[in-house]
Amino acid sequence: MNDQIKRIGVLTSGGDAPGMNAAVRAVVRTAVGQGIECIGIRRGWSGLITGDFVRLDGTSVSRIINRGGTMLYTARCKEFMDHEGREKAIATCKLLGLDSIVAIGGDGTFRGALDLSRQVAEHGARLSVVGIPATIDNDIGCSHYTIGFDSACNTAIECIDKLRDTMQSHERCSVVEVMGRHAGYLALYVGIAVGATAVLIPERPVDFENDVVENIRRARLAGTTHYMVVVAEGAGNVYDFAAQIKEALGIDPRVTVLGHIQRGGTPSARDRETASRMGYAAVKALVQQKGNRIIASVNGHIEDLDMEEALTMTKQFQMERYDILEALTNNSISHF
């Protein structure tokens, strides 16, 4: 029984990611095992402002580990970004008797958690916050891996594999947009996995002639009659790229935007296991009186990092993966 932490609020915020439910389950069951009450805050920070909550126990989180989405719902809340909005959230924390919050989401979720904690301190009180990284973009600087990435990759790969069947049958070029407004991790990972002809990502300036046109030409000269171009949404307009391919090569590409289908579906084993470990570590940090932490995956280990320091970290994009893609795609010029 823990005498310090009595009641934890848990919420999911921002874009949903497969595995969020597994993280909620782990937080609740670990807390209950420590004699700590859990309150689910529905609809993210918005729910903390409006008082939209539900009591959670071991039974209420049964049979959710395999479900995509989030049982607590999620939302983006502009009001919470303002001092007045956070004052309303603080009032809800007082009303519910919350002394800590576990926030599951991305960078914006964590910055909101830190702002809330600081504002509570202005009242002479204390609110411990812990963040769990869950985003299919895998773009949290302090964590090598974020919940949802593996599941989103598997979903995109499954869709593209099916799309390839029809592209091959009709001898066509397919241009597929995957999520990744500011990060190309998903596109590059998926591109390697499906054997894409070309992958366009925001981290690398697009040289359309060399990256796309010449790759398709080399593939055609090698006897290939169908081509797959994977584009991260932040790399540029997928329809413009298709038009450029048609103009340069005289072929008529088909555009497919996978969109939010990548967020849904049953979470993979990796996401369920990682979410469970992170949820457990979040409660453990709170029990040990560690406030304002982010749970991170660092070289396969789950660690809790100081939130302020963690939010200043940046992730080095693994450009060697692009080198691998080029070596495997441009086999006519590869030295391997």
Catalytic residues: 137
Residue 333, SS3? coil
* Cβ contacts of 297 within 8 Å, gap of 6 or more: 133, 143, 144, 145, 146, 274, 278, 303
* Cβ contacts of 322 within 8 Å, gap of 6 or more: 188, 199, 201, 204
Residue 198, SS3? strand
Provide the CA 48 distance to its chain's centre, in angstroms.
Answer: 22
**HSE of 95, CA atoms in CB hemisphere, 13 A:** 12
Please state whether beta strands 293-298 and 198-200 pair in parallel, antiparallel, or not at all (unpaired): unpaired
Distance CA 24, CA 89 (A): 20
Q: Is the dihedral of CA 206, 180, 110, 268 positive or negative?
A: negative
